[in-house]
Amino acid sequence: MIRELVLDTETTGLNYEDGHRLVEIGIVELNNHIQTGNYFHYYLNPERDSDKRAEEIHGLSNSFLRKYKKFEDKAEEFHSFIKDSKLIIHNAQFDLSMLNNAFKRLGMKQISKDQAICTLEMAKKKFPGSKNNLNALCRRFNISLESREKHGALTDCKLLLEVYIELLGGKQEKLSLMVKQNEDSNLENFTMLNYEKNLVEVSHEEEIQHQLMLKKISNPIWSK
């Protein structure tokens, strides 16, 4: 079972070197690319005001954030949640720089770049020369943006999850074939233990139309 975590952050601004900090962290857990229902989500008191532009983007006012705990109060829980799982991040360089600066201030272990999968880099390779921000990718893959009035870490994680699956090749119907060898058979003979299939009900009229269509086919291969 492969555990992956789709992660997104919101911040007071764009550059940690200017003292900007995290105001929100969202994580959605996946097992084998399927959402488990487990998540990690917290608003954070950054102990400073957000830039005007940043506040316009995420919609989290300074007065709203002051009532929440600081990053240092959630850092251990965050580390425990992510463990060594792969982190799926859009523009991983930015989020990791903000997170690792926060860990550095606390003298804690930082997140390795090798732990992250950057969906922005995936998109650039797949669609060179195109807009590859989250909104553009959602529109490309016909993913609804109705829930994204503002940038929110958990909302963006759920959108990014869908984008990530599409970048991997898209949703496919599952066919689970589990086989084992019969005790009294050779290696070429197997027994199917389990499979999933979709059944479609056919009306009597459709059966008649199908038989009429078959009669019109000359020299069908199934008659040979």
Catalytic positions are 151
Helix 153-168 to helix 119-126 angle (10° resolution) is: 40
Rounded CA-CA distance 194/118 in Å is 36
Which H or E run includes 57? Answer: helix 52-58
Instruction: Return the sign of the alpha-carbon dihedral for residues 93, 96, 100, 101.
Output: positive
Rounded CA-CA distance 72/12 in Å is 16
Which H or E run includes 192? Answer: strand 190-194
